[in-house]
Structure 1
């Protein structure tokens, strides 16, 4: 019989965005269930969800009113803007955490990779073991020959043109952050590329491009899902119609033209469409009169519908895609941002669904055709079933907690 690990204190934090916080919450809850102490530094909008895990909530004041909106997905400067936002958020978080735990430091720091400026500075300051969570693809040295983070940090132009202001600001802000926290002796390049600790990916190895090239420091646990039943009830249609679920996630729900197009697509179709627009998304009243077989919800747990859906239309966010594949539901992808385009391309390459023609602005006819095509494609269903099995084998929340316990045990 395996001896239980001694109780440890884990400090968690993530970028204040749903796609970064939510994958970590079941892991925090599992560690608490096993008798460990978990402190989770977060912002007010996520306090209730964090508190529900049993973790101690440590609130800090965010640097940005809308972290997810700080780097528009269609901007050519998306990456340096996102990295600069992470530096700003790290600067806001660090004083709170250092003041709170300076005399009673945790045993392990586990943080979302987007917040790696704060995570790496804390582990350097406190000399603690650390783990980086990754809800997005892990970086590959050869995955994008046209882009070099090292060149960006050195100030070298990427395409022979002058350095863009967003890139310069990223380098300057990172240099200032290092100096402010006792790491002026570390170059930005060494700081960004020198991390040798473990990384944990919230998707299976098979979904990562070049997954076989990552060494044992990289642990692919798959999605860590909440095992409790959905908090909201949903009734299957009684008329025998096939169900299609449509969602653009939490960041892109305020697109009335997209959801009107969906209503048009399914109005005269044999599908029962379930549209979720998000609590901060479009007002359902803006979508006009709805057919009886088209329903619109401000919010509905995907897991209430996905087990019954034949197809999931989504924005290709990693969390949404993993939820669908965990339920064995094929995908129709309408990527809204660059990061999502990478996820969509990978899903299509693995035969898990299709990208709808028109990208984030498809026509009603194109969407309906894509949904029907995927629903009837037996090769897609077989590929989805195979990936679903890889997700099950990856271990999920249980394996994630096991890894963190071993890290805490030394």
Structure 2
């Protein structure tokens, strides 16, 4: 088969799909992956051919204390305008080199629009919680102060519907995560999914896999003693105040702290770095998690699944609503603790919570059980089987 993968250029959405792509190409299928050239090396490593799009959705912003309606609306409006910009090139390419099926990320309406326009089967990938007609995913994605009458949000809705009309596809083609495809691949185990029991056979919970990045150790070497890994992901990490609090909490302690501050924080503005800290923009996360005792994380779903796979207790410091939902789920399932981001975190409190999580005897038991669910979900092999079965059923009709 010729399979098109179409995913908006965000690490938390592209990276979880690449092991599935690798499995499909290993089975002899031709995969074209449409996303930004920023992911060219990883796409090539998966065996797919990159169709590079000048695709750069707007920056995701979140105020201290959590994302607001205005910030969400700005992000959504930038996303739909970015889709409008790349749509003509993507349509021309895939009309000329038609795939047999389009696999697209749940929030990537470019994929669902092209599938509708070209009359092709579609498969949706969910790197985060899935939703259906029994569980409203908006409950997870919308900020607490959400106001549908906010002028920028109303502008987003208007432009979204206009884009569908101009491209002559039904409005549901731009519904994103609210629209259920014929096959939906959820990249987490059903046991972690919110209300997992309400999802039918059209949803396959294949779990996560991060094989493309597993060997990227770089020059990092594990320290001796207790290791705390601190990272706020690649999207919303402009939190110099939080990183300074971490330094105050653990400076001079018997913890070795590997702290990834991202690309938006100047390490020099954090002041003197204690001897027990290793501070960098980024670390080879899978390798660090192999050795970490606790993960102080934004709780993006990719990072959450990686920590579960490595059975590392999680202390969540979320930045946007979907991360807050992940952090709540981690706490509900006894896999770690959720910090209150509505107020400043006190250094003493932060250190106390990390120590309590490490000392909690139930957390390792719960992590081991959830890691077993991840292993049983099937991963890329189960996802490739599901796609092949879908297309075989269509061929028999």
TM-score, length of structure 2 as denominator length? 0.89
The Cα shift of 1:341 comes to 0.8
Partner of residue 111, structure 2: 119
The Cα shift of 1:359 comes to 5.5
Contact 1:70–1:81, Cα closer than 8 Å, also in 2: no
When residues 340 and 174 of structure 1 are mapped into structure 2, their CA distance, relative to the original with a 3 A threshold, is same
- Which of 43, 54, 58 does residue 61 from structure 1 map onto? 54
Query: Are 1:285 and 2:265 counterparts?
Result: no
The Cα shift of 1:190 comes to 9.5
Partner of residue 94, structure 1: 87
Query: Are 1:137 and 2:123 counterparts?
Result: no
Query: Are 1:343 and 2:335 counterparts?
Result: no
CA distance in structure 2 between the aligned counterparts of 1:236 and 1:220, rounded to whole angstroms: 33
CA distance in structure 1 between the aligned counterparts of 2:308 and 2:26, rounded to whole angstroms: 27
Contact 1:60–1:92, Cα closer than 8 Å, also in 2: no
When residues 235 and 360 of structure 1 are mapped into structure 2, their CA distance, relative to the original with a 3 A threshold, is farther
Contact 1:80–1:167, Cα closer than 8 Å, also in 2: yes
Partner of residue 398, structure 1: 381
Instruction: Return 5+ residue gaps in structure 1 as ranges.
Output: 1-7, 153-157
Partner of residue 369, structure 1: 352
CA distance in structure 2 between the aligned counterparts of 1:104 and 1:81, rounded to whole angstroms: 34
Instruction: Return 5+ residue gaps in structure 2 as ranges.
Output: none
SS at match of 2:191: helix
The Cα shift of 1:179 comes to 1.4
The Cα shift of 1:360 comes to 7.5
Partner of residue 200, structure 2: 215
Partner of residue 180, structure 1: 166
My pick for the range that moved more, 384-393 or 269-278, is 269-278
Q: Deviations over 1:105-141 (max 9, x none)?
A: 01110011111x3222211222211111111211254
When residues 321 and 187 of structure 1 are mapped into structure 2, their CA distance, relative to the original with a 3 A threshold, is closer
My pick for the range that moved more, 360-369 or 268-277, is 360-369
The Cα shift of 1:172 comes to 1.2
CA distance in structure 1 between the aligned counterparts of 2:76 and 2:89, rounded to whole angstroms: 21
Partner of residue 233, structure 2: 249
Q: Deviations over 1:71-99 (max 9, x none)?
A: 99611245554443442232223211221
What count of residue pairs does the alignment treat as equivalent? 389
Aligned-pair Cα RMSD in Å: 2.9
Contact 1:175–1:188, Cα closer than 8 Å, also in 2: no
SS at match of 2:69: coil
1:247-396 aligned within 5 A: 247-278=231-262, 280-358=263-341, 361-396=344-379
CA distance in structure 1 between the aligned counterparts of 2:174 and 2:231, rounded to whole angstroms: 40
Partner of residue 164, structure 1: 150
CA distance in structure 2 between the aligned counterparts of 1:196 and 1:257, rounded to whole angstroms: 42
- Which of 35, 38, 46 does residue 28 from structure 2 map onto? 35
The Cα shift of 1:146 comes to 9.5
CA distance in structure 1 between the aligned counterparts of 2:165 and 2:388, rounded to whole angstroms: 33
Contact 2:4–2:34, Cα closer than 8 Å, also in 1: yes
Query: Are 1:205 and 2:197 counterparts?
Result: no
Contact 2:122–2:181, Cα closer than 8 Å, also in 1: no
Contact 1:70–1:85, Cα closer than 8 Å, also in 2: no
TM-score, length of structure 1 as denominator length? 0.86
